Amino acid sequence: MSIRILKYGGTSVTTPESRERIARTAIRHKEDGHDVVVVVSAMGRSGDPYATDTLISLFKAQNENYKPRNLDFLMTCGEMISAALIANTIEKLGASAISMTGQQAGLITDDHFGDARVIRVEKEKMLRPLEDGKIIVLTGFQGVTETGWLTTLGRGGSDTTAAVVGVALDAESIEIFTDVDGIMTADPRIVGEARVLNAISYEECYQLALDGAKVVDHKAIDVVKRAGKTLIVRNTFNDAPGTVIGPESYIAKLGIEDDRDLITAITSKTGLVQVTVSMSLTSPENAIFLESLEQNKVSIDMINFFEDRKVFTIQTAKLPAVLEILERLNLEHRFAQGCAKLTLVGHKIHGIPGVMRRIVMSLSKAGVEILQTSDSYTTIACLVHVEEVGKALNALHAEFGLSRDPE
C-alpha cells in the first residue's frame, strides 16, 4: 500500500477546529487506500503556552548556563502534546490512530544536541502500526541517540522529520502544510502583489530557505533532493494546489516552466552586521583570524576580499565574539549594524547581461542604498539598510514582473 506523509506546522495545529481539519484530511487519505503518517510541530508560535520558543524562554529564565541535553529534553514536549491531541481527534472521528515520538518511530540521531542529524531510521517501528491499519501521528523535530538520549533537529526540524521519514518509507508523496498557499514570489506581508509559484526547483527553494524564506526548511529540501523525491507545500486551511518542489527535469515535464522567468522569487534576511577588517591578502593574521571565527562557530556571508581589507556579514548575535577576536588580534575594523540581505533567486540568472544593471537602477530609483553585493550560480544578493527592506523588495518584485500570472 502506498504511504503519504502529511506534515503540519505550529499554526496549523493550534485550535480544535484546525486539528479536526487535519484529522479529516488524514482519514480521507486512509479511506482512499493509502497508509498515512501525520508529522506535527508544537502548537502555535512564540508566546503561545506550548510553542517551542516559549519552552526555551521558560528554561533559560532559570539558568542560562544550561546543558543542551537538558534543553532538548524539554523542547520535545510541545510536539508530544500536538501528536496526542491529533491522534485523539482522529479516533473521535472513528478511525484508528497512534501517536509516536521520534524515539518510538526509530529516528536515530547523532548527539549534537539542539541540532542533531538523523543517521538512520528503524522503519519497521512505523511499518508495524501502519500494517495494523493505524494512522500514525508522529512528533516532528526530534529523535534519539544510540545511547537513548532525546535530541532535537534544530530550527525547521519538523520539516526535516517529514522528509527523512518520507524517504525512509519510500512514500508516494510528502506534503508540507502551512498557513500560506505555497512558496511565493516574495513575503506577502511585505509585497502585496506576491503570488504563489506552481513549481520551484530544489536549488532555488533551498537558497530561498537559507536566505530568509520560512515556508519550508533548507535541510528538508536537501533530504528530498538527495533521494529524488518531490515535495509539495500547501495550505492547511484551503484546497489550493500548492507548490511542487523538485528537479528541473520534473518541473519541465509538468509544463509550467513559464511560471518562472529570469527571477523566480525574492527573499530577505534581517539581523545582520556588515564588518570591514583592514588586512592585506598576504597578512599572516589571515589564517589566525579565519580559524578563530571557525572556533567560535561564526558563519560569515557575502564575503569580499580586497587588496587591503575584507568585507563580510555576520548575524548580529555573533558580533560580540567577532569584536573580541578583532581586538585580540589588534586588527583595525569597523562595522555597520541594522543590515538586511535581499536575495534574488533564479535558475536562469547566471551569465545573463543586464540583470545587475536592472537591480541597481530599480533600487536607486526607489531610494535604496546598496551597501554590498554578492552572487552565485542561481542568486544575486544585495545588502541594504534594514529600514529599506520593504521598498527594496517591492521595487525588485515590480522590476522583474513577478506579480504577473504565468502565461
Q: Which residues are annotated as a binding site for ATP?
A: 7-10, 178-179, 189, 214-215
Q: Identify the burial level of 227 via C-beta atoms within 10 angstroms of its C-beta, where 0-12 means exposed, 13-18 middle and 19 or more buried.
A: middle
Residue 134 DSSP code: P
Q: Are strands 199-201 and 243-246 parallel, antiparallel or unpaired?
A: parallel
Residues 6+ apart with CB under 8 A from 50: 42, 43, 44, 77, 78, 81, 82
Residues 6+ apart with CB under 8 A from 282: none
The CA-atom distances, in angstroms, between 229 and each of 42, 119, 158 are 26, 18, 17
Asked whether 203 and 143 are in contact (CB, 8 A), the reply is: no
Residue 406 DSSP code: P
What SS3 state is found at 243?
strand
Query: Binding-site residues for substrate, please?
Result: 52, 79
Query: Binding-site residues, please?
Result: 7-10, 52, 79, 178-179, 189, 214-215
